[in-house]
């Protein structure tokens, strides 16, 4: 009986490991070329979590094409989450090395060094666990996404499924929830604050008083200014005796129509 028990146990372990390796290869990523996902794995994970806790929370999500999302938000997210997005093939090797060094130093799996494509792979098909097995699956799916989809589509998918708070998914739902406006109408600072909260959206609110969000948003805003993404100009005041004021102006129309271009250095 003991022999049979060990045989069954070994067989079960083998099947499990085969599933771990095979699953990332069988998920259908090609349908993302033409269709938008409904409920992602992350959304389903949150729904199950809320049900176990006896909480009634509804998913808020509104799909928005990339060309209707503020270029400020597109650039802010790229700067904050994956500044080398257009220069890598799904993995930021330098970022991963730094993350590993931090993990070793703190003796815990805390820093992921994940690119936007890796985060998209996790959001679409996996759970938020940081265990090595899930990271292997994430790597395989990331490779497949980069091979199957253009960068513009990957970015569009990410901005529409990223978690931005409890029950809030995607740029449009987040913009309406926090700022009462469409994602196409966001100012540069509002975009910077939304991007600043992405590292931990359940802990940090874009409109809260978090010092982390404030410092990170100011840094993202500063980088956007340095790169010429934010354009400032003096405008004549209505009252004759008033001093001229600095006012944000929208990006050039050609930038709005091509939000997928990499940020200039």
Specify whether the CB–CB gap between 199 and 236 falls below 8 A.
no
**pTM for the whole thing?**
0.80
Contacts of 115 (CB under 8 A, 6+ apart): 82, 84, 85, 88, 90, 91, 92, 95, 142
Please state the rounded mean pLDDT for residues 145-167: 97
Whether residue 135 contacts residue 109, with contact meaning beta carbons closer than 8 Å, is answered with no
Residue 19, helix vs strand vs coil: helix
Burial (0-12, 13-18, 19+ Cβ within 10 Å), 123: buried
In tens, the pLDDT along 214-262 reads 999 999 999 999 999 987 644 444 554 444 443 444 444 344 444 444 4
| pLDDT of 102 | 59
Residue 234 phi, psi dihedral angles, 5° rounding: -80, 135
Predicted local confidence at residue 101, as pLDDT:
61
* Other CB atoms within 10 Å distance of the CB of residue 23: 14
* 52-98 confidence digits (pLDDT tens): 999 999 999 999 999 999 999 999 999 999 999 999 998 887 766 66
- The Cα–Cα gap between 49 and 202 comes to 14
């Amino acid at each position: 009986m003991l022999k049979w028990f060990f045989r069954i146990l070994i067989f079960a372990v083998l099947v499990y490991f085969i599933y771990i390796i095979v699953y990332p290869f069988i998920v259908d990523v090609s349908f993302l070329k033409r269709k938008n996902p409904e409920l992602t794995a992350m959304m389903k994970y949150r729904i199950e979590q809320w049900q176990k806790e006896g909480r009634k929370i509804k998913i808020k999500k509104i799909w928005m094409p990339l060309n209707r999302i503020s270029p400020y938000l597109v650039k802010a997210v790229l700067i904050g989450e994956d500044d080398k997005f257009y220069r890598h093939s799904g993995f930021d090797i330098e970022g991963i090395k730094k993350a590993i060094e931090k993990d070793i130093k703190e003796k815990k799996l805390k820093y992921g060094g994940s690119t936007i494509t890796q985060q998209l792979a996790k959001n679409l098909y996996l759970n938020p666990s940081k265990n090595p097995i899930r990271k292997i699956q994430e790597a395989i799916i990331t490779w497949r996404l980069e091979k199957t989809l253009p960068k513009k589509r990957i970015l569009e998918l990410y901005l529409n499924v990223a978690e931005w708070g409890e029950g809030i998914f995607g740029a449009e739902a987040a913009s309406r929830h926090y700022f009462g406006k469409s994602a196409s109408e966001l100012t540069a600072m509002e975009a910077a604050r939304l991007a600043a909260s992405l590292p931990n959206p359940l802990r940090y609110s874009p409109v809260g008083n978090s010092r982390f969000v404030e410092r990170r948003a100011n840094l993202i805003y500063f980088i956007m200014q340095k790169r010429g993404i934010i354009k400032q100009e003096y405008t004549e005041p209505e009252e004759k005796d008033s001093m001229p004021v600095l006012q944000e102006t929208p990006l050039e129309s050609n930038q709005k129509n091509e939000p997928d271009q990499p940020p200039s250095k």
